[in-house]
Amino acid sequence: MNENKSPVNWERLEAKPEFRALIRSKARFIICATVFFMSYYLALPILVGYFPALMKTKVWGEVNLAYIFALSQFFMAWIMAFVYVRVASRWDKSAASVISDQA
C-alpha cells in the first residue's frame, strides 16, 4: 500500500481522538466567547435605549457612563482578538499533529 497514492481518508482523520479533542476545545471556546461578546455588546444598545437616565450618569467631568461603556467595547473587541489568537495558536499545533501523517 502506497500512502501517497490513496486519497485522504477523511472519516479516519475525523474519528481520531486528537481531532475530536481539538473540535471539542474549539467549540467550547467559540461558544463561550460568542455568548460573552454578544451579551456585552447587546447590553450597550439595551441599556442606552431603555435606561437612558442611568447611562447619562456622569463619571469623569462631562464624560458619562454611556460613553465609557461604548468606549470599553473597543477594548473588549481588541482583548477578545488577542485572547483568540493566543488560544488559536495552540489549536494550530494540535491541528498540525492530526494531519502530520498526511504530508
Partner 1 sequence: MTISLIMFLGFVAFTLLITFWAAKRNTGASAYFAAGRSITGWQNGLAVAGDYMSAASFLGISGMICFSGYDGFMYSVGFLVAYITVLLVVAEPLRNAGKYTMADLLAYRLKPRPVRAMASLSTLTVSTFYMIAQMVGAGVIIKRLIGLDFAPAVIGVGVLMLVYVVFGGMLATTWVQIIKALLLMAGAILLSYLVLQFHDFSFTNFFNAVSKADYAGTAEPKNLLEPGLKFGVAVAGPWGPLDLVSLGLGLVLGTAGLPHILVRFYTVPDAKTARASVVWAMAIIGLFYIMTTFFGFGAATIVKKALILTADGKPDTNMVAPILAQVLGGELFFAFISAVAFATILAVVAGLTMSASASFAHDFFSNVIHHGKENRPGEEVKVARITAFVVGAVSIGIAIYLGPSVNAAFLVGLAFAVAASANLPVIVFSVFWKRFNTTGAVAGLATGLTSAIVLILLSPNGIFGKAGAPFPLENPGIVSIPLGFLAAYLGTILTQRDLEAESKFAELTVRAHTGLGSEKATQH
65-98 vs 17-50: helix axis angle to the nearest 10? 170
| Per-residue contact flags (x/-) with partner 1 for residues 10 to 49, judged by CB under 8 A | xx-xxx---x--xx--xx--x--xx--xx--xx-xxx-xx
DSSP reduced 3-state for 16: coil
Nearer to partner 1, 17 or 41 (CB): 41
Taking CB under 8 A as the rule, does residue 50 contact partner 1? yes
Write out the three cell numbers for 65.
457612563
Gyration radius (Cα) of the chain, Å: 22
Q: Which is nearer to partner 1, 4 or 23 (CB)?
A: 23
Q: How far apart are CA 22 and CA 97, in angstroms?
A: 11
Residues 53-92 as x/- pattern, contact with partner 1 by CB under 8 A = --xx----xxxx-xx--xx-xx-xxx-xxx-xx--x--xx
